[in-house]
Amino acid sequence: MNKLLQHVLVWLGIYVVYTIMLSINADPIAVLLLNLLTVGLYMMAYYLLRNIQIPYLYDKNKIGLFVASVAVSSVLLYAIYRLGLIYGLDGVRGLNSKIQYTLLGDYLVKAIRFYTPAMALLALESYFEGKKEQIRIQRLEKEKLANELKFLKAQINPHFLFNTLNNLYSYVVQESPKAPDMIMRLSGILDYVLYRSQQATVLMSEEVQTIENFLALEKIRYGERLEVQFQTDGDLSMPISPLILLSLVENAFKHGASGDIGQAKIRIHIFEKNKNIHCEVWNTKSKYHGELNDAYKEGLGLSNIQRQLVLVYPQQHELNIVDEADSFTVNLKIQQDEKH
């Protein structure tokens, strides 16, 4: 519905309502004619406020001029009303107006009446404009958050890919029987990270399968120097935002299996309990204090994970880090709700 038609219908509705209200115990024809005059004045008051006085005076902080203009326009509207009443309506109906001279009390009552529909309509317009703006801002915010989440998900650790491809190349050259399995697992990881992770949620079982593929490739990379324990329990059909659990596991390898750790150990326990998702990741850490361990706690990996959790599970998650002398433990709990 275009704005012109909306305005026509609104004023027609006001005219009908006022006519019905004033027709009680009054001459219907006189009321019809009177309302043609008064509704016309209501319209003048409204469009003066809406198109001139508010945008050019009030909105530009010219309050004195705004008040003066409203006062002058109210006097003009009252003058038009009195002239229309005395020389127009009474002349047509063959009547004599009982109030021949302008009275201050009558002027004030009529001025308030002229501006009442205008103020009501402007208040409604302001309300609906505010709602529209709120919806627009919310939509922009959702788009911004969605784009940010896509960006966060796209941050795959390039070192993992390079190392895996290098290992795969050496196995292919050696014609190792491990090569086909590596290709299959790497293909599964890339398919999950690049495509399926773009969904809002996936099954926990899908995330777990990708983690298993990741662990298998990392075991090939680290060999006997790495000890990994991976355990899952509970209902793995629970929905979860993709890549969060995988990112926790990847972060443990990034900082918990560095070259200066003689026998690197990583323990991962992913489980469902009371419809909540739990992920516990424990790993050995470097014996050297300083940048490496600080990077683990404050670097891109955990910052990325924390930001994803804030975006996807606001006030529905608990992320705790236990920093001990020779190990890190990350505990994540995600409380599911109906929308997830």
298 pLDDT tier (thresholds 50, 70, 90): very low
Quick one: pLDDT at residue 204?
Answer: 94
CA–CA gap between residue 187 and residue 170 (Å, rounded): 17
Q: What is the mean predicted confidence (pLDDT) over 200-206?
A: 92
DSSP string, 123-176: HHHHHHHHHHHHHHHHHHHHHHHHHHHHHHHT---HHHHHHHHHHHHHHHHTT-
For the beta sheet containing 226-233, the strands, ordered from the edge strand earlier in sequence to the opposite edge, are 226-233, 264-273, 276-284, 327-335, 317-323
164 — pLDDT class (breaks 50, 70, 90):
confident
Q: Which of 134-138, 180-184, 195-199, 279-283 reaches the highest mean pLDDT?
A: 279-283
- Taking residues 198-208, what's their average pLDDT? 90
| CATH code of the domain in which 217 resides | 3.30.565.10
Which residue type sits at 162?
F
For the segment 258-267, the average pLDDT, to the nearest whole number, is 75
Could you tell me if residue 37 is inside a domain? yes
pLDDT at 92 > cutoff 80: no
The answer to whether residues 19 and 36 touch, using CB atoms and an 8 Å cutoff, is no
- Residue 317: pLDDT over 90: yes
Domain boundary among 91, 117, 141: 141
Q: How many distinct structural domains can be found in the chain?
A: 2
Cα-based distances in Å from 23 to 15, 30, 206, 324: 12, 9, 72, 85
| Amino acid at residue number 24 | I
- pLDDT recorded at residue 26: 61
16 and 103 in a common domain: yes
pLDDT at 267 over 70: yes
Q: Looking at the structure, do residues 170 and 267 belong to the same domain, yes or no? A: yes
Could you tell me if 186 and 313 lie in one domain?
A: yes
Examine the fold and report which residue of 141, 164, 185 is the final residue of a domain before the chain moves on: 141
For residue 216, give both structure tokens: 């298998």
Cα(47)–Cα(77) distance, integer angstroms: 13
* Domain-embedded: residue 149: no
More confident residue, 83 or 290: 83
Q: Which pLDDT value is given to residue 332?
A: 95
Q: Which residue has the tokens 């326009």?
A: 73
In a domain, 172, yes or no: yes
User: Which of 60-69, 92-101, 161-170, 198-207 is predicted least confidently?
Assistant: 92-101
Residues 6+ apart with CB under 8 A from 146: none
Evaluated on CA atoms 60, 62, 63, 66, the torsion sign reads negative
SS3 7: helix
**pLDDT > 80? residue 85:** no
- Count CB-CB contacts under 10 A for residue 252: 25
Same domain for 122 and 167, yes or no, is no
CB 336 within 8 A of CB 239: yes
More confident of the two residues 195 and 337: 195
- Domain stop point among 111, 141, 171: 141
User: Residue 300, CB half-sphere, CA atoms under 13 Å: how many?
Assistant: 9
Q: Is the pLDDT of residue 291 over 60?
A: no
The answer to whether residues 118 and 190 belong to one domain is no
Q: What percent of the chain has pLDDT over 90?
A: 22
Amino acid 283 reads: N
Q: How far apart are CA 33 and CA 40, in angstroms?
A: 11
Residues 321-339 have a mean pLDDT of 83
Predicted confidence band of residue 294 (pLDDT cuts 50, 70, 90): very low
- Quick one: average pLDDT of 34-48? 87
Q: Are residues 182 and 137 part of one domain?
A: no
Domain that holds residue 307: 154-335
DSSP assignment of 254-309 equals HHHS-TT-SSEEEEEEEEEETTEEEEEEEEE--SS-SHHHHHHHHSHHHHHHHHHH
The better pLDDT of the pair 85, 190 is held by 190
CA atoms of 317 and 181, how far apart (whole Å): 36
Query: What pLDDT score was predicted for residue 269?
Result: 96
Q: Whose CA is closest to 304, among 254, 239, 237, 236?
A: 254
For residue 177, the 8-state DSSP code is T
The reply to whether 103 and 225 lie within a common domain is no
Query: pLDDT confidence of 159, banded at 50, 70, 90?
Result: low
Within 10 angstroms of residue 257's Cβ, the number of other Cβ atoms is 22
What rounded mean pLDDT belongs to the chain?
80
Chain-centre distance for alpha carbon 157: 29
pLDDT of residue 309: 86
Residue 55 in this model has a pLDDT that exceeds 80: yes
